[in-house]
Amino acid sequence: MAQVLALAFTAAFVVVAIGLGRLGTRFFDRGGRLDCGETLLLSFGLGAVAVHLAVFAVAPVALTGASMAALSTVLALLAVWGWRGFPFAAAIAACRRLAAERTGLTLTLVALSVGVLTLLQGMAPPNTYDSLMYHLAVPRQDVERGIMAPAWNLGIHHILFPQMMGNLYRLTLVLGGEPAVQMVSGVFGLAGAGAGAALVRRFGFGMSTAALAALMFLATRGVVWQMASAEVDVALAAMTTLALLALVAAGRDGDRGVLVVCGLLVGGVLSIKTNGGPLALGLGVGMLWLAWRGDSPGRWARFVLLAPAAAVLVYLPHLLRLWQWSGNPLFPLANPLFNKDGAAFMQGAPLALDVVDFLLDPIVMFVAPTFKFDGMFLGGPYLLAFLPGLLLVGRRMPGAVPAALLVGVYYLFWWVLLNPQVRFLVHILPVVSAFAAIGASCLWRHAAATRWRWPLVAVMVVLVLVQAQFVAIYAVLRMPVALGLMSAGDYHRNTPTMQGAYYQTCRYVAEHLPPGRTYVSLLVPHSYYCPQQSAIIDFFPDESTAWLKRDVSPLTRQQVLERFEADPPAFVIVATQWENRGNESRRAVVTAVDLERWRIGRHLAAALAGLPPLSSDAYSAVYDGAAVVEALKAGVR
């Protein structure tokens, strides 16, 4: 039943988002620059931004079933208006043209199969680190208390990150249920693939190359992993590529309306993740290039002012909310600048600029990813293998320069500040996939009639098999539980490499915590599955914003005891060990958790050592709160 509701909600979300967005594309694309497919894709992007802004307006007042249902009704009615006059005949004609092209149809069906298979895996219970820590934990806390407000008790700056996807997850948790959340995230993966394919068409290539670009993006290991999670990187990739598509469609003469669409989508890029800043910068450099290539100062002004103004308009609510909540409209960036005694967050590692690394990293991340980077994020090296095929294009590719500028500017930013996390490159992956697909297509066209045909076929077969096993293994791991053939407990407990998401421990707390009581959580991270509002993590409720300050005073054992006596915790839950896979073979190295790093936990280590847990699994344990307080008292005496 939950699966049916999730499927229905996801489908409704897509239909409403496209309908809402089409109000925008119909109004702004008066020159008819966008074809049917582009209109659908860009409408989805605009509609998703609209839903986010609507939730952002209503949730701080009421985040309940009634408020979200009322909001959704209004949005759905507007969407009906947006769907009016949609050129269904043109869409059917486009499908017929595709059906007549055998290679294009085959590749489209394979890409769709991979995409839909991954989308359905979103119904598996969430288990990725960042989802558990804040992408889902923060919306869940808001749903628990029925209002959107800062989740100060989590004690992490991530709670005030851009909230576009968080707002979509809030709406989904309330109306669609947990299994729908990751599917909503997955829909953005399909949009990103579609945007990459549409770019290929804009560059002047056919349906088969476009479908190959979509397939190359969807089959990337990290995309398969993230599409079926509540992470936001794939959504950011989709929104960035949609903005680029609008920019390319606006053309050298800078169609005013399509530029506004581009700007609104850049606002979406900024509203999804802090990395949206450098991506917007990369898009801005592409705009400047188009402006420079344009013909008149008026067109210059359109490029330089119109799109950025639209972007700021979309991003403004987030800036104002940050200012209201933290005193810093750029929080967590530049915090000491706005808050004199504020802590500095997101401090990058010291730069170690090396020209050889700069040139070799794009190769190393594909051929030896476990040696330097964050694991096998991309899977096989097919993108790298086929990019040189661009040397065989032999003609101009309209719109390719802004795309290349986006990739170049963002890669530079990534290399200087985010290296070695390849997962942050997923944001430009639809564009890189578009270029790689064009390279593969041109290479095949030229090599097919030469003696290089069979070596090329051999490489293609190997790369397809390598990548197919990544697609398949995720399906095998997640589909049984997604379809309800396996329990969530068994899935978390038995699936290798997943560490259980603290599911059993959190379920114990959720089922046994008396109403109105608090509990202490020493989990790393504090899991989404645990009750959120009642958790005391590293700061007691009377000092819940202390972590925003530069100097955080430590607690004495006596102070901890006094607070426990005033408000006794029902439970103390503790992470006991974790698996570190940061090595070349990704072999698990089990490491005990050191409670000394916790402000409260360091005083509890000795008390917990002599107590039997109420419940435990391989990675965590639950202790009775009263017993812990007694043991702590004995230690103080």
Partner 1 sequence: MAGPQRPLTVRIAACVLWAVAVTVAYGYFSADYYREKVSVFGGYLLRLLG
Q: How far apart are CA 198 and CA 200, in angstroms?
A: 5
Smallest distance, Å, CB 418 to partner 1?
22
Smallest distance, Å, CB 363 to partner 1?
8
Output 494 or 591, the one with its CB closest to partner 1. 494
Output 381 or 531, the one with its CB closest to partner 1. 381
Output 64 or 370, the one with its CB closest to partner 1. 370
Smallest distance, Å, CB 625 to partner 1?
36
Smallest distance, Å, CB 303 to partner 1?
35
Smallest distance, Å, CB 364 to partner 1?
9
Smallest distance, Å, CB 388 to partner 1?
5
Task: Indicate left, alpha or beta for 569 from its phi (over 0: left) and psi (-120 to 50: alpha).
Answer: beta
Output 251 or 362, the one with its CB closest to partner 1. 362
Residue 600: which of 623, 574, 582 has the closest Cα? 574
Smallest distance, Å, CB 463 to partner 1?
6
At residue 553, what is the residue type?
S
Output 268 or 380, the one with its CB closest to partner 1. 380
Output 376 or 418, the one with its CB closest to partner 1. 376
Smallest distance, Å, CB 135 to partner 1?
26
Please tell me what DSSP assigns to residue 152.
G
Smallest distance, Å, CB 41 to partner 1?
30
Output 242 or 438, the one with its CB closest to partner 1. 438
Distances (CA, A) of 548 to 134, 340, 344, 526: 17, 11, 9, 18
Smallest distance, Å, CB 375 to partner 1?
9
Output 462 or 483, the one with its CB closest to partner 1. 462
HSE-CB at 144 with a 13 A cutoff on CA atoms is 20
Note whether 184 and 238 are within 8 A (CB).
Answer: no
Largest CA distance in the chain: 87
Residue 505: which of 601, 576, 603, 596 has the closest Cα? 576
HSE-CB at 263 with a 13 A cutoff on CA atoms is 21
Smallest distance, Å, CB 382 to partner 1?
8
Output 188 or 382, the one with its CB closest to partner 1. 382
Note whether 203 and 400 are within 8 A (CB).
Answer: yes
Residue 3 CA from chain centroid, whole number = 22
Angle made by CA atoms 173, 227, 283, in degrees to the nearest 5: 105
HSE-CB at 163 with a 13 A cutoff on CA atoms is 31
If one counts every other C-beta atom within 10 angstroms of the C-beta of residue 554, the result is: 8
If one counts every other C-beta atom within 10 angstroms of the C-beta of residue 232, the result is: 28
Output 70 or 368, the one with its CB closest to partner 1. 368
Chain positions contacting partner 1, by CB under 8 A: 363, 366-371, 376, 380-381, 384-386, 388-389, 391-392, 439, 443, 446-447, 450, 452, 455-456, 458-459, 462-463, 466, 473, 476, 480, 494-497, 584-588
Token representation of residue 219: 């089959």
Distances (CA, A) of 542 to 77, 452, 539, 567: 44, 71, 8, 11
Smallest distance, Å, CB 575 to partner 1?
22
The β-bridge partners of 615 are 622
**Which pairing describes strands 620-624 and 615-616: parallel, antiparallel, or unpaired?**
antiparallel
Smallest distance, Å, CB 223 to partner 1?
18
Smallest distance, Å, CB 483 to partner 1?
14
Q: 3: which residues sit within 8 A by CB, 6+ positions away?
A: 123, 179, 482, 483, 484
Smallest distance, Å, CB 394 to partner 1?
9
Would you list the DSSP string of 346-401?
A: SPPPPP---HHHHHHHHHHHHHSHHHHSSSSSS-SSHHHHHGGGGGG--S--TTHH
Output 46 or 482, the one with its CB closest to partner 1. 482
Output 390 or 627, the one with its CB closest to partner 1. 390
Output 82 or 439, the one with its CB closest to partner 1. 439
Residue 95 CA from chain centroid, whole number = 30
Output 392 or 412, the one with its CB closest to partner 1. 392
Output 340 or 451, the one with its CB closest to partner 1. 451
Q: How far apart are CA 499 and CA 612, in angstroms?
A: 22
Distances (CA, A) of 48 to 175, 176, 457, 585: 16, 16, 41, 40
Q: 176: which residues sit within 8 A by CB, 6+ positions away?
A: 5, 6, 9, 10, 13, 184
What element of type H or E holds 623?
A: strand 620-624
Smallest distance, Å, CB 587 to partner 1?
5
Q: How far apart are CA 605 and CA 327, in angstroms?
A: 36
Output 254 or 439, the one with its CB closest to partner 1. 439
What element of type H or E holds 71?
A: helix 65-83
